[in-house]
């Protein structure tokens, strides 16, 4: 299929789903009538490598390489692990296709065979599998088998790294070369060398694509340092073999790292580099190549002009609104080829990498936009623009029709609670059967009832930043939350049946050893209380476009150098004179967390996770438990929306008598998916409530406020609305679907 624009993602991003950048751009180009073809070369290289013929070639190459280097003693310099894998090469060659089919969901029956541990050859990655029953006891045989199959692939990955290509990695390739490479020298030197084994596979696939597509413009998406090298290899080959085709690079890596680019050598590989939102820059670039726009009309684009790097930004050209960019288009991707691997025994990481998720965005930018560690000075964070729930649902329905898959990951910096509410109501109204998860801020807007609504609309998990679980540092980060607030919000999510993952941070400027230990204690208690199911510790990184990076003296840290490189500039090496030795805490924090995620070692003293002396925690052992046991006051305003998600109740009116007095009682019986809920109220109130619930149904176009509900109650001649509404039995009806939002 020929197309004017070829959108490609080079190896490697992730194996379970295509990175969405090109799907977004293709959806936009569709609205402009510009033909585009897209490919994820990462999954295509993976499938070409990890198949029977691919492994036969791989092992043959290793044997030849060893013989060339070492004469007759072909295994002389290999590790014991590599020797074992080579000895078992026939077992790998004969099982690889079955394993890949299983991880693609095409052969689920294989899980029992894999789980019995006598089907797959095992090398060093299997050394730490003694605790598989502990780790997967609640996750099931399929997940255990996926993890074992992932270890099998990682053993092969280790062999490739040792014998074929030191830069290889499943979700990143040559990441070390791309991460904060202030100078282009090392990468440039690598790119002058002969193709590696993996390079040859990549270029063979790229050549076939180029012959088929015959594009005028190739746009290469580089979201991470781990696919920078391969993007350069692609650009290098295209410019040599298709000199008339223009090559453009963009994506998350360029947006954060290339804002001060001056090295001319980069343009031996790309003709153009665009920054930030790609729609308007790519459109202008395409029309420039077509001869319809001059070079000064380019938007947010680096290129060579008269032999010098020039940044061109036509400010008269505005960016497109989110409602104008079209629906992400997932056509052309080999959607049935993606692999569901379970690399890390972590519930959220498993969710991330297991199964294929359609990626969507609720809003451009971040509605909070204040966190001091974040790149809030850049447009992708700074410029906040939500889209409507109706348009989001339209896009979801289009993507489901195209892909046949109804799982969605909303990749917002932080999904806005109000839009999550509106989207959930729209999903329920349309009776869409979807499952989805999103990144959020753990803010107080996530009430019990909002969390129940999200669950009813298919939300299965949320991930959010708890960062440093210390109120002093959360204030310094300008996170806008407290530990107590996080605990209560997580309780709401958990009780609604939504899994909670927390991003944790250590090493924030001025963080002391005491605060690190106290943060760990807070995390321990959150897991022990059952309101946190998954988490991951990250070491703080100072970036050039964050408030900390822009004003390090304000946060009492020092840059190691003020020099700005000619290539990539984002991560800043810094010294924290007033803080602890942050990196020394890394192993203990992560080891304790692994145990807490599996409900283990809550009684282990915190000091035992570390091989050096640590201070005692100052946090009371029941701090979180006390917070969660406090009765929560639910503040409802007159404009609070009231909706009914449940079924029509069965009404029964009967007479009750006591001491010669008789009165009529109304029994309302509610059938939920799990139970039958019954309440009894006075006859008139029961008749009013049953009628009101019909009006409050989410299926109706009108949405009532609490004030309107009260007025309707009083218009029926009933008294003491608050006494009736805010107390039992009516206050228990949230369990059946009566929600105040």
Residue 650 vs residues 642, 687, 728: alpha-carbon distances, Å: 21, 11, 19
Last residue of a domain, one of 320, 346, 370: 320
How far apart are alpha carbons 741 and 457 in whole angstroms?
14
Q: Which of 153, 177, 190, 172 is nearest to 58 (CA)?
A: 153
| Pair 230, 237: CB distance under 8 Å | no
Which residues have C-beta within 8 Å of that of residue 31, sequence separation ≥ 6? 324, 325, 326
| Sign of the CA dihedral running 460, 465, 471, 474 | negative
21 and 54 in a single domain? The answer is no
pLDDT score of 129 = 63
Nearest to 204 by CA among 229, 247, 237: 237
Q: Are 38 and 258 in contact (CB under 8 A)?
A: no
Structure tokens at 363: 């809003």
- Single pTM value for the model: 0.91
Distance, in Å, from the CA atom of 56 to the CA atom of 52, rounded to the nearest integer, reads 6
Count CB neighbours of 633 within 10 A: 5
Axis-axis angle for helices 52-70, 80-87 (nearest 10): 130
Q: Are 477 and 601 part of one and the same domain?
A: yes
Q: What is the DSSP secondary structure assignment for residue 337, as one 8-state letter?
A: G
Cβ(55)–Cβ(97) below 8 Å? no
Is there a single domain that holds both residue 140 and residue 199?
no
- Same domain as 649, residue 619: no
The strand pair at 641-644 and 704-705 is best described as: antiparallel
Q: Tell me: do 520 and 481 sit in the same domain.
A: yes
SS3 711: helix
* Domain identity same for 154 and 209: no
* Same domain, yes or no: 441 and 524: yes
Low-confidence residues in the chain, pLDDT < 50: 71-75, 138
8 A C-beta contact, residue 123 and residue 84: yes
Distance CA 621, CA 618 (A): 9
* Residue 495: other Cβ atoms inside 10 A: 14
- Looking at the fold, whether 527 and 574 belong to one and the same domain comes out as yes
Cα–Cα distance measured from residue 148 to residue 118, given in angstroms and rounded to the nearest whole number: 11
Read off the pLDDT of residues 315-369 as tens digits, 9 standing for 90 and up: 999 999 999 999 999 999 999 999 988 766 666 766 766 678 899 999 999 999 9
Q: In whole angstroms, what is the distance from residue 441 CA to residue 553 CA?
A: 27
- Residue 24 CB contacts under 8 Å (≥ 6 apart), including other chains: 278, 325, 328
The full length of the chain comes to 741
What residues pair up with 437 in beta bridges, in sequence order?
A: 409, 461
Residues 725 and 681 in one domain: yes
**CATH code (residue 541):** 3.80.30.20
Backbone angles phi, psi at 679, to 5 degrees: -130, 155
Whether 331 maps to a domain, the answer reads: no
Secondary structure (DSSP) of 536-562: EEEE--EETTSHHHH-GGGGT-EES--
Two tokens, residue 314: 């036509």
* Domain containing residue 509: 357-629
Whether the CB-CB separation of 618 and 718 falls below 8 Å is answered with no
User: What is the residue-wise DSSP string for 687-703?
Assistant: HHHHHHHHHHBTTSS--
Q: Which residue has the tokens 């696919």?
A: 227
Q: Report the distance separating Cα 265 and Cα 262, nearest Å.
A: 9
Last residue of a domain, one of 601, 629, 657: 629
| pLDDT recorded at residue 182 | 77
Average pLDDT, the chain: 91
Does residue 606 lie within any of the structural domains?
Answer: yes
CA atoms in the 13 A half-sphere facing the CB of 227: 29
Whether 234 contacts 220, CB under 8 Å? yes
Q: Is 640 helix (H, G, I), strand (E, B) or coil?
A: coil
Please choose, from the candidates 447, 338, 281, 400, the residue with its C-alpha nearest in 3D space to the C-alpha of residue 13.
338
Residue 342 forms part of a structural domain = no
Beta pairing class for 704-705 and 574-575? unpaired
Give the whole-angstrom CA distance, residue 583 versus residue 75: 38
Q: Cα–chain-centroid distance for residue 651?
A: 46
Please state the separation of Cα 523 from the chain's center in Å. Answer: 21
Q: Is 614 part of a structural domain of the chain?
A: yes
Q: Residue 178: what pLDDT?
A: 61
Q: Measure the CA–CA gap between 396 and 360, rounded to whole angstroms.
A: 8
The domain spanning residue 234 has which CATH number? 3.40.50.2300
Q: Is cis: bond before 423, omega within 30 of 0?
A: no
For residues 587 and 698, state if they share a domain.
no
- Over the stretch 439-481, which tens digit does the pLDDT of each residue have? 999 999 999 999 999 999 999 999 999 999 999 999 999 999 9
Q: Tell me, yes or no, whether 421 lies in a domain.
A: yes
Is the four-CA dihedral 105, 107, 110, 112 of positive or negative sign?
positive
CATH code of residue 687 = 3.30.390
CB atoms < 10 A from the CB of 399, how many?
22
Answer yes or no: do 304 and 375 share one domain: no
Assess whether 157 and 180 both reside in one domain.
no
Task: Output the six-digit token pair for 403.
Answer: 């892909």
CA dihedral sign of residues 436, 437, 440, 445: positive
Provide the pairing of β-strand 435-440 with 407-410.
Answer: parallel
Nearest in space to 328 (alpha carbons), one of 11, 12, 4, 38: 38
Q: Which pLDDT value is given to residue 632?
A: 78
Note whether residue 648 is domain-resident.
Answer: yes
DSSP helix/strand/coil, 646: coil
When divided into structural domains, the chain yields a total of 4
Quick one: CA dihedral 600, 604, 608, 609, positive or negative? Answer: positive
Instruction: Provide the Cα torsion 367, 373, 375, 376; round to 10°.
Output: 40
Which of the listed residues 262, 297, 320 is the one where a domain comes to its end?
320
What is the per-residue DSSP string for 442-468?
A: --TT--HHHHHHHHHTTEEEEEEEEES
Query: Is 325 a member of any domain?
Result: no
Task: Find the largest Cα–Cα distance for the chain.
Answer: 108
- Determine, yes or no, domain membership for 345: no
């Amino acid at each position: 299929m020929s197309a004017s624009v070829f959108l490609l993602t080079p190896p490697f991003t992730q194996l379970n789903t295509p990175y969405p950048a090109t799907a977004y751009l293709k959806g936009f180009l569709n609205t402009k009538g510009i033909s585009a073809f897209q490919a994820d070369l990462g999954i295509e290289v993976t499938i070409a490598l990890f198949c029977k013929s691919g492994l036969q070639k791989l092992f043959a190459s290793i044997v030849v390489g060893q013989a060339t280097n070492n004469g007759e003693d072909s295994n002389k310099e290999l590790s014991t692990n590599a020797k074992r894998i080579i000895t078992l090469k026939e077992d790998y060659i004969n099982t690889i296709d079955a394993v890949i089919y299983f991880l693609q969901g095409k052969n689920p029956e294989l899980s029992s065979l894999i789980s019995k541990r006598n089907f797959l050859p095992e090398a060093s990655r299997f050394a730490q599998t003694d605790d598989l029953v502990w780790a997967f006891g609640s996750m099931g045989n399929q997940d255990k088998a996926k993890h074992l199959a992932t270890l099998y692939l990682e053993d092969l990955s280790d062999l490739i790294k040792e014998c074929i290509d030191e830069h290889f990695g499943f979700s990143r390739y040559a990441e070390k070369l791309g991460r904060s490479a202030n100078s282009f020298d090392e990468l440039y030197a690598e790119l002058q060398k002969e193709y590696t084994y993996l390079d040859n596979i990549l270029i063979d696939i790229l050549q076939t694509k180029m012959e088929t597509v015959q594009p005028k413009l190739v746009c290469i998406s580089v979201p991470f340092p781990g696919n920078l090298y391969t993007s350069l290899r692609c650009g290098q080959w295209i410019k040599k073999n298709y000199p008339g085709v223009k090559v453009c690079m963009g994506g998350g890596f360029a947006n954060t790292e290339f804002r001060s680019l001056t090295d001319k050598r980069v343009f031996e590989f790309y003709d153009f580099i665009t920054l930030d939102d790609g729609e308007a820059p790519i459109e202008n670039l395409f029309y420039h190549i077509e001869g319809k726009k001059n070079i000064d009309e380019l938007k947010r684009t680096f290129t060579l002009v008269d032999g010098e790097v020039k940044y061109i930004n036509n400010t008269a050209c505005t960016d497109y609104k989110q409602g104008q960019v079209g629906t992400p288009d997932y056509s052309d991707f080999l959607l049935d080829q993606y692999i569901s691997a379970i690399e890390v025994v972590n519930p959220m990481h498993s969710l991330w990498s297991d199964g294929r998720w359609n990626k969507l965005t609720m809003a451009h930018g971040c509605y909070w936009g204040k966190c001091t560690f974040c790149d809030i000075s850049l447009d992708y964070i700074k410029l906040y623009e939500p889209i409507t729930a109706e348009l989001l649902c339209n896009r979801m329905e289009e993507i489901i029709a195209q892909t046949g898959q109804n799982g969605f990951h909303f990749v917002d910096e932080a999904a806005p609670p109000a839009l999550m509410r509106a989207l959930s109501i729209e999903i329920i109204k349309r009776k869409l059967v979807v499952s989805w998860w999103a990144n959020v801020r753990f803010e107080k807007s996530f009430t019990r009832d909002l969390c129940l609504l999200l669950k009813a609309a298919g939300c299965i998990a949320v991930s959010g930043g708890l960062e440093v679980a210390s109120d002093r540092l959360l204030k310094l980060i300008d996170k806008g939350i407290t530990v107590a607030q996080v605990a209560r919000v997580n309780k709401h999510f958990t009780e609604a049946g939504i899994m909670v993952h927390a991003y944790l941070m250590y090493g924030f400027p001025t963080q002391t050893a005491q605060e690190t230990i106290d943060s760990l204690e807070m995390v321990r208690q959150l897991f022990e209380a059952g309101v946190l199911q998954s988490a991951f510790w990250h070491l703080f990184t100072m970036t050039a476009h964050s408030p900390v990076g822009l004003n390090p003296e304000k946060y009492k840290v020092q840059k190691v150098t003020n020099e700005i490189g000619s290539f990539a500039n984002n991560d800043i090496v810094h010294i924290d004179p007033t803080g602890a030795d942050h990196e020394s805490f890394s192993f203990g924090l992560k080891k304790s967390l692994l145990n807490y995620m599996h409900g283990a070692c809550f009684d282990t003293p915190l000091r035992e996770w570390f091989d050096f002396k640590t201070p005692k925690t100052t946090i009371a052992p029941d701090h979180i438990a006390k917070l969660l046991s406090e009765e929560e006051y639910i503040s409802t305003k007159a404009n609070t929306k009231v909706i009914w998600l449940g079924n029509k109740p069965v009404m029964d009116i009967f007479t009750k008598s006591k001491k010669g007095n008789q009165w009529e009682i109304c029994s309302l019986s509610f059938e939920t998916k799990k139970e039958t809920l019954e309440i009894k109220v006075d006859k008139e109130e029961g008749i009013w409530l049953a009628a009101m619930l019909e009006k409050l149904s989410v299926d109706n176009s009108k949405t009532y406020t609490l004030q309107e509900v009260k007025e309707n109650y009083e218009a029926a001649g009933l008294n003491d609305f608050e006494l009736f509404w805010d107390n039992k039995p009516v206050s228990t009806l949230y369990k059946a679907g009566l929600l105040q939002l």
